Every structure is written in C-alpha cells, then in structure tokens.
C-alpha cells in the first residue's frame, strides 16, 4: 500500500483521488465552457441561466461534490426534490450548502475538458473519450499509484447504466443493468479494489480482442508472479501461453470451441463428479462434470488434487482449480456489489456525465477499501461503506462551510480596509490640540469652533443660544480647524462634519 503518512480520515482518502489540482481544472473548464455558451446566446431571456451566470469558484466546485455525496445517501426521484420544502420529501441539508438555482447553473455548464479542442466523430483525430480523458487518465494513474494488489487478481467486465443515445452503448444480458457503457476492470480478488480499468468506446486505434485487452491491462503486472483469473470470454490457450511467457499464471473457465482446445477432451463423456485433463508443458486443460461440463485452463494447479465440498445432504469432491476459480473470480463482482449499495443515480442525457457519476461513486468505494486496509494494519475498527460515506459527507460539509466562512471573513476584512483607506485623514492620523498662535488680528485664523458652528446650523429648536458665536483659543494644527478641547476635539476626529 502506497498511501502517504498522515492520511487517516475518510476525507483524506477521498482527496487522494480528487486532488485540488483536479478541482481547479474542473472550475477552469466549467468557466471556459460557460463563456463559450453564453457568447452564442446573446438573445437569451433576461432571467435565463445565460444572463444570470457568474463564474464558478473553487469552493462552489467543492459544494457540488458535497451534494453529490449527499445524493449517494439520500435517493430522490429528481434533483429538484433535494431542495423541496414539501414536508413529505423535505431534506434541509442541500439548501445549507448551495442554492438550487446555483447548483443547476453549475451542473448545466459543468465540463471536464476543453470543448474547443473536441473533434467530432468521423473526422481524423477523433477521440471518443475526449470529454472525459483528463479524469480517466488521472484516476487510472491514481488507482495504480496508491495500492499494489495481492497475488490473486481478476479481470472482468462492469457496466455503467445508460439508456440514452450513444454509438458505443452495449447490451449485456447477464448484468443487473442490461444497457450501458462497458468497463474492462482488473480487480484484486480478495477486496474488490479496482487496480486499473478501460472504457470500451469503439476506438478503432485499440484492439478489442479479449487477449489484447488482457495483455494491455496486465502489462504493468507482467513478470511479477501474479495469478490472473478470467472467465470464458477471455480465457483461451493463446492468452494462457502469452501470460506464461511473461511469468504470469492464469486460471479461467474456457469455452469448449476455443481454438487450441484438445478435441478429444471436449468429446469425452463423463459422469457427474468425474474429471479428465490434458497437459501441454505447464498448461493444463481440465474437464469436470457437475450438472453440466465445466472446462477450465490453468497454468498453476495440479489437475489431480481435489478438495471436499459440503453440499447437504452429501459431501462431494471438486478439483482445487475449480474451487480456487470460484473464490478468486469474484473481484469485479464484489466491486459492482459495493457500488450498488450507495450509487449516485443522477439522470442525464449526457453519457459522459453518467460516466463521471459512476467514477465518482467508484472512487468512494476505492477510498473505503484503502481506509479499511489502513485500519486493519493499525488495529482500528473497519467501517462499512454506509458509515464511511456518512463520515465523508459530514467532513466535506464542514470543510466547505469553514472555507466559506474564511472567505467571508477575508471579504469583510477587505471591505473594512477599503473603508479605512477612504476615511478622511483626521480619522486615521495622529492629532493633538494646541493653542492658536498669536498673530496680528488681520492674519489671525478664525476662532469659531467648527463643531459648534455645525451644531448651530443644524439647530431647529429656536433657543437663543443657538445663534451664539462660540469661539475658542485651541485648534488642531494638521487640520487647521479651531476646536473646543472638550468635547468638540474628539467629535471632530471621530464624526463626520462638513464645517
């Protein structure tokens, strides 16, 4: 595990994936896209988001993530209900973080990559994942950087649910969500940690052959003694031999009609519980009869070794290779199971926003796995996914509110400093009373107190003393104003007078 020292809280683990530089990139691209979109909508209605838009700040991007985590915990039918004041659906949390209209504004202009560099489909240089490329590249690097998987790993397909119009949308009948965007994932078998992934996008520059996909995703782990578990979509003698040449073992069920499979083994008739095998150097093709024939390729097991499995009302023997496959092939399924506990179900017609939501949920699961592994190493109780998300959302909200308060405080200080610099000199400099100098009468400065004179002009009660002239022998030399020592000197330097 390559987690830096000092990372202890759920927010710390989450920030390992969503760094400040990534948040700044999201802020920059969102503002850029908003400027481009507004420039094309000069005739927009006065109260539209195009006219009311103001540039998003880094703290508002944090607010966006806080509400996303809230949505993982509280599921509602549409986004507006998170700000609804109806008693039956009211939840006050989101409204304390950001207003509904501002959230919808930012979400409308939310962008990840520079939209001006996007090359449409059918033109040279088109990249199907261009809108998501920075996030995908960053997360793939972070997944591999922060954790080194144990020996047993599995490769399988996952799916991001999506039913909108999309050129590379797929149908997978065995998945809980049949339609969506396909992911190839390499996971640690024991924990379900996704070590690497690849989004299937119909890119003609990449081969989609199962053998090529496996070798491409496994490239950094080749030659390090790993054991790869695959299902019958990927497993074939060609893949097993290529991995074996790179000192990487392989175990997986295989289709009987794969090229290179021994024909006599496939045609062998077995009774339930019986097994047969063929060997070519270190590669073993095993056939075991359960309710139906099970074909398996392995480069690490002895085909004659069995293990007793208790299946009431009897105990039956099963090849160890089959049993190891069952126990270690579930890495991707475990990751999908964790994702189903608290998914970010945000409806959108933009496929890349759906994938972004999927990746955000995945990083929360990855953070939970890393947190629990560190807790296990430090003898600290583990957290369930729900408890982890609860604490993560609480810490994110506290951080956001603290930064908002700091920013408000800085704004108030700046306003106070601006007001202070705009004050007259008599309010901010050092002043002392002194006698008016004795000079000839024609050159003598005026002796009428300016504060009393101002009060006399503002007097409206008609008293006789209101018209009295109040002279003094004191003045403030820097101001050049005659003033009574008490209380006019203090009033002149603390209150606004026009006299």
- Give me the pLDDT at residue 499, please: 47
Q: Which of 149, 134, 98 is nearest to 359 (CA)?
A: 134
Q: Are strands 249-253 and 227-230 parallel, antiparallel or unpaired?
A: parallel
- Is 403 domain-assigned? no
Full domain range(s) for residue 443: 430-492
329-376 pLDDT tens trace:
988 889 888 988 888 878 888 999 999 999 999 999 999 999 999 988
139-190 pLDDT tens trace:
999 999 999 999 999 999 999 999 999 999 999 988 888 999 999 999 999 9
Q: Say yes or no to pLDDT of 29 above 90.
A: yes
- Is 449 domain-assigned? yes
Q: Which residue has the tokens 């006599």?
A: 264
- CA–CA distance, 201 with 260 (Å, rounded to integer): 30
pTM: 0.81
- Is 445 domain-assigned? yes
Q: Count the neighbouring beta carbons within 10 Å of the beta carbon of residue 32.
A: 17
Between 454 and 30, where is the model more confident?
30
- Based on the structure, what is the number of domains in the chain? 1
- Is 486 domain-assigned? yes
- On the question of a cis peptide bond just before residue 313, with omega within 30 degrees of 0, the verdict is yes
Between 339 and 468, where is the model more confident?
339
- Is 4 domain-assigned? no
- Is 456 domain-assigned? yes
Sort residue 223 into left (φ over 0), alpha (ψ -120 to 50) or beta: left
- Is 484 domain-assigned? yes
- Is 401 domain-assigned? no
């Amino acid at each position: 595990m390559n987690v830096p020292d000092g990372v202890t809280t759920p927010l710390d683990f989450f920030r390992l994936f969503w760094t400040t530089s990534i948040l700044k990139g999201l802020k920059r691209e969102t503002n850029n896209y908003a400027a481009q979109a507004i420039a094309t909508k000069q005739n927009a209605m006065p109260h539209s988001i195009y006219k009311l838009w103001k540039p998003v700040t880094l703290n508002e991007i944090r607010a966006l993530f806080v509400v996303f985590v809230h949505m993982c915990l509280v599921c509602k039918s549409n986004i507006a209900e998170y700000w609804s004041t109806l008693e039956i659906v009211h939840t006050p949390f989101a409204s304390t973080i950001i207003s509904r209209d501002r959230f919808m504004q930012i979400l409308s202009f939310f962008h990840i990559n520079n939209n001006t560099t996007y090359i449409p489909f059918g033109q040279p240089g088109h990249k199907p994942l261009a809108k998501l490329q920075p996030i995908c590249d960053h997360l793939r690097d972070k997944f591999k950087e922060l954790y080194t998987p144990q020996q047993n790993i599995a490769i399988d397909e996952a799916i991001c649910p999506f039913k909108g119009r999309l050129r590379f949308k797929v149908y997978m009948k065995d998945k809980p969500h049949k339609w969506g965007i396909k992911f190839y994932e390499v996971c640690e078998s024991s924990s379900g940690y996704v070590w690497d992934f690849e989004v299937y996008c119909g890119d003609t520059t990449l081969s989609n052959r199962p053998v090529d996909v496996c070798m491409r995703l496994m490239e950094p782990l080749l030659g390090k003694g790993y054991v790869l578990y695959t299902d019958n979509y990927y497993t074939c003698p060609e893949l097993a031999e290529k991995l074996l040449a790179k000192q990487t073992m392989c175990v997986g069920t295989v289709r009987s009609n794969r090229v290179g499979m021994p024909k006599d083994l496939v045609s062998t008739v077995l009774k339930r519980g019986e097994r047969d095998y063929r060997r070519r150097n270190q590669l073993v093709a095993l056939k075991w009869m359960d309710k139906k024939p099970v074909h398996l390729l392995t480069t690490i097991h002895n085909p004659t070794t069995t293990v007793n499995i208790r299946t009431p009302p009897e105990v039956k023997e099963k090849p160890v290779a089959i049993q190891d496959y069952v126990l270690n092939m579930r890495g991707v399924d475990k990751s999908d199971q964790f994702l189903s506990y608290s998914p970010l179900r945000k409806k959108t017609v933009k496929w890349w926003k759906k994938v972004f939501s999927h990746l955000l949920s995945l990083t929360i699961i990855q953070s939970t796995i890393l947190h629990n592994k560190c807790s296990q190493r430090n003898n600290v109780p583990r957290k369930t996914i729900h408890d982890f998300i609860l604490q993560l959302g609480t810490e994110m909200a506290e951080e956001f509110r603290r930064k908002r308060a700091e920013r408000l405080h800085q704004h108030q200080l700046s306003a106070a400093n601006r007001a202070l610099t705009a004050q007259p000199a008599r309010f901010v400099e050092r002043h002392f009373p002194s006698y008016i100098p004795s000079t000839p009468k024609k050159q003598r400065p005026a002796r009428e107190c300016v504060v009393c004179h101002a009060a006399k002009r503002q007097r409206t009660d008609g008293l006789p003393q209101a018209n009295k002239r109040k002279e003094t022998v004191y003045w403030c030399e820097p101001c050049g104003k005659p003033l009574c020592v008490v209380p006019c000197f203090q009033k002149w330097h603390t209150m606004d007078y026009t006299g």
